[in-house]
Chain A
């Protein structure tokens, strides 16, 4: 299909919106009526047609506007993109991975022409047509990681692997759920996860690290994570907390359905072959509560999950103060009927709301 790219904003007037197509493919993250951490990894090798799991790097209707928002964030704060000196080769790995994947998965949008090390990259949605020499930084306008991630939705952590650990040694982080690359740069897996409650006691991180160290070339993995965001903000960074944190107090029972968004991250993991580093793309999908409620199963389930979520998690995810108001809203969409297993909305088989 041909994607119609939205002209929209993720700041100021918040003109971001999801089409019916985008709501249909929204990665609702709860496969049952409750939620607890788990090492919920699976292989990232396709998925149902048109779902966000289908392609290696999903491109959707928000692509062009998200890239414009990223450029604005970087113009204000260049430290959102950093790469320690030893990570340049990993940057080339990432550039190769994204260019090859996108040109194969979306041949109508992206083209890659390779003649040995002389490459030409055509990005039609962004109007880019650049020729450069692979592995020669002087032939690109930015470093290889910055160049390609200015053209790819989602944040990218590029992790060096050594000493049986992963190190946050490079990244492009402009659409994050309240963490800072500038703060975390150079940290290892346990250091940057230190603030997460409960998961340490559950032994989650030790097991997750073992899994990640073993992610192999040609066998990428994925998982979903989620949080809550008031207004469709991509840039919920600690650096800008003074701008967006206050907006959490602007919720009212009347505007909650349109302002409160479920924020879901599709996290994928790819081994980078030339550097043996690991790239960890974190792709953010936003959907307003009122759009989610158009799918009866999601309405029933979201109410139950948010209602029963342990207090530490609601606090960590930053919506403990707004939870009562969210539950008032969500309870209107929960008639107590059972829900089908799995994350998909099952619009054809799930009954309409019975109240």
Chain B
């Protein structure tokens, strides 16, 4: 049709914000609260949504997704909690070390890849560590609509249990905390076994926990569509490799510490993206030719597509081999 031809922009719509508060939660976690710079309310969102925070780190622009943890009922503020990762790629360290109250930043409109199934008669939330953040927003949403929910929240130590006190005070009958170093663990089998029909389970936490919940639920006969999970992957480092971008007609080198997507962007080629964590599918790219092996790490393509060698998700996946050509 092309009534008014517009080029699709990479990434979600952006919002200019000011850091209204930086709050230390515990030794590893810090909460950042944002206000809009134009004084307007933020767009409404649903529990489970994330925003991508743009960090200007010297020459480098870092783009990291974080779950919105504030209440969907209060659109004056968006809040995220960031776990410091001392051996990661540096985004969380930048947030912890460099971002201060009063700073101007840019974040994206919310995107939800982990939404509640509103048909559920009951929602069981299973959180591990920093995986608590999307559930904080979901709990607000549930409370607003009189939803039936419970939270099982596993933390390493009592002192690293972010928001444990708030949660247990506000919802003493709905929240159960499990502290690893006190040898407390979720009795998952018993928990899943006792749920009424129509219950949906949601898990967010380390990969092992997510796999454990899916496997246990499946073994107990839970329908797969009743178990939901979200895991954002950070791009993993790897050996540098070269890629030819056919449409752009350039050859680029992907460095050890950067993702393929980041390398494409660094070379001035616009590529679509949303979550940057292997979940949303937006950056899916066709492979023109390849001589080597793909290191697929995304949750988007299925096994068959991974095996075909015809597609790659450049936000988290890499390549080892002699030549790679992409349709970009």
Contact A162 B4 (CB under 8 A): no
Question: Can you name 29 A-B pairs with beta carbons within 8 Å?
Answer: A27-B3, A29-B1, A31-B1, A31-B2, A42-B3, A42-B5, A43-B6, A46-B4, A48-B3, A51-B3, A89-B145, A160-B118, A160-B119, A213-B281, A214-B280, A216-B12, A216-B109, A217-B13, A218-B12, A273-B44, A273-B45, A273-B46, A274-B44, A274-B46, A275-B46, A275-B118, A276-B49, A276-B115, A343-B2
Residue A96 is within 8 A (CB to CB) of chain B in the complex: yes
- B237 → chain A closest CB, angstroms: 28
Does chain B have a CB within 8 A of A342?
yes
Residues of B within 8 A of A47 (CB): 3-4
B115 touches A161 (CB 8 A): yes
Contact residues of B: prevailing secondary structure: loop
**Chain A residues with CB under 8 A of B115:** 161-162, 276
Closest Cβ of chain A to B207, distance in Å, is 21
Q: Is the CB of B44 within 8 A of A96?
A: yes
User: In the bound complex, how far is the Cα of B322 from the Cα of A310, in angstroms?
Assistant: 47
What is the CB-to-nearest-CB distance from B3 to chain A, in angstroms, rounded to a whole number?
4
Q: Which of A257-312 contact B (CB under 8 A)?
A: 273-276
Contacts of A86 in B (CB 8 A): 118-119
Q: Please report the C-alpha to C-alpha distance between residue A280 and residue B172 in the assembled complex, in whole angstroms.
A: 41
Q: Which 8 A-B pairs have the closest CB atoms?
A: A218-B13, A276-B115, A86-B118, A273-B44, A53-B3, A47-B4, A47-B3, A218-B109
Q: Which residue of A lies closest to B111 (CB)?
A: A216
| Chain B residues near A213 (CB-CB < 8 A) | 281
Considering the complex, give the chain B residue whose CB is closest to the CB of A161. Answer: B115
Contact in complex: A216, B45 (CB < 8 Å): no
A210 within 8 A of B: yes
B112 at the interface (CB under 8 A from A): yes
Establish whether residues A343 and B3, one from each chain, have CB atoms under 8 Å apart when the complex forms.
Answer: yes
Task: Tell me if A45 is interfacial: C-beta within 8 Å of chain B.
Answer: yes
What 1/0 flags go to B1-28 for Cβ under 8 Å of A?
1111110100011000000000000000
A69 to B236, CA, bound (A): 59
**CB atoms of B8 and A43 under 8 A apart:** yes
Complex formed: what's the CA distance from A222 to B117 in Å? 26
B115-131 CB contacts (< 8 Å) to partner A: 115-119
In the bound assembly, the distance between CA atoms of A86 and B198 in angstroms comes to 13
Residue of B nearest to A46 (CB): B4
Residue of A nearest to B119 (CB): A86
Count of CB-CB pairs between chains A and B under 8 Å: 90
**B residues with CB within 8 A of A:** 1-6, 8, 12-13, 43-46, 48-49, 72, 109-112, 115-119, 141, 144-145, 225, 274, 280-282
Q: Are A162 and B117 in contact (CB under 8 A)?
A: yes
Find the residue from B44, B49, B109, B116 having the highest chain A CB count within 10 A: B44
Q: Give chain B residues whose Cβ lies under 8 Å from the Cβ of A224.
A: 1
CB distance from A276 to the nearest CB of B (A): 4
User: Using an 8 Å CB-CB cutoff, how does the interface string of A306-325 with B read, 1 for contact, 0 for none?
Assistant: 00000000000000000000
- Given A51-B3, A216-B111, A276-B115, do A163 and B43 touch, yes or no (CB 8 Å)? no
B1, A42: Cβ atoms under 8 Å?
yes
Give the docked Cα–Cα distance between A275 and B274 (Å): 19
Q: Which residues of B contact A214 (CB under 8 A)?
A: 274, 280-282
What size tier do the contact residues of chain A reach?
35 or more
Please, what's the 1-or-0 string for A73-91, where 1 marks a CB less than 8 Å from any CB in chain B?
0000000000001110100
Any chain B CB within 8 A of the CB of A219?
A: yes
Residues of B within 8 A of A275 (CB): 46, 118
Instruction: Name A80-115 residues within 8 Å CB distance of B.
Output: 85-87, 89, 93, 96
Which of chain A's residues has its CB closest to B13's CB?
A218
Asked whether, in the complex, the Cβ of B6 is within 8 Å of the Cβ of A42, the reply is: yes
A40 interface residue, CB < 8 Å from B? Answer: yes
In the bound complex, do residue B6 and residue A45 qualify as a contact, i.e. CB atoms below 8 Å apart?
Answer: yes
Contact across chains for B118 and A217 when beta carbons are under 8 A apart: no
| CB nearest neighbor in A for B225 | A163
**Are A216 and B13 in contact (CB-based, < 8 A)?**
yes
Q: Which residue of A lies closest to B200 (CB)?
A: A162
Q: Which residues of B contact A150 (CB under 8 A)?
A: none
Per the bound structure, the CA–CA distance linking A342 and B4 in Å amounts to: 10
Q: Is A68 an interface residue (CB 8 A)?
A: no
Decide yes or no: A223 and B44 within 8 Å by CB, A89-B145, A162-B117 being known contacts: no
**Which A residues, 37 to 59, have Cβ-Cβ distances below 8 Å to chain B?**
40, 42-43, 45-48, 51, 53
Most central of A48, A86, A210, A274 by chain B CB within 10 Å: A274
CB neighbours (8 Å) of B112 from chain A are 276
Give min CB distance, B286 to chain A, whole Å.
Answer: 13
- B43, A217: Cβ atoms closer than 8 Å: yes
Residues of A within 8 A of B145 (CB): 89, 135
* Residues of A contacting B13 in the complex (Cβ-Cβ under 8 angstroms): 216-219
Interface centre among A48, A162, A213 (most CB of B within 10 A): A162
How many Å from the CB of B162 to the closest CB on chain A? 25
Chain A residues with CB below 8 A from B3, complex form: 27, 42, 47-48, 51, 53, 343
Specify the chain B residue showing the minimal Cβ separation from A217: B109
Q: A46-B4, A274-B72 are in contact. Are A217 and B225 (CB under 8 A)?
A: no
**Residue from the set B5, B13, B46, B48 with the largest chain A CB neighbour count within 10 Å:** B46
Give the residue name and chain of the A residue nearest to B44 (CB): A273
Tell me which residues across on chain B come within 8 A of A274, comparing CB atoms.
44-46, 72, 141
In the assembled complex, the Cα of A275 lies from the Cα of B47 at a distance in Å of 9
Residues from chain A with a CB closer than 8 A to the CB of B118 are: 86-87, 89, 160, 275
Give bound CA distance, A210 to B44, whole Å. Answer: 24
User: Per-residue 0/1 for A177-215: is the Cβ within 8 Å of any B Cβ (1 yes, 0 no)?
Assistant: 000000000000000000000000000000000100110
B167 to chain A minimum Cβ distance, whole angstroms, is: 23
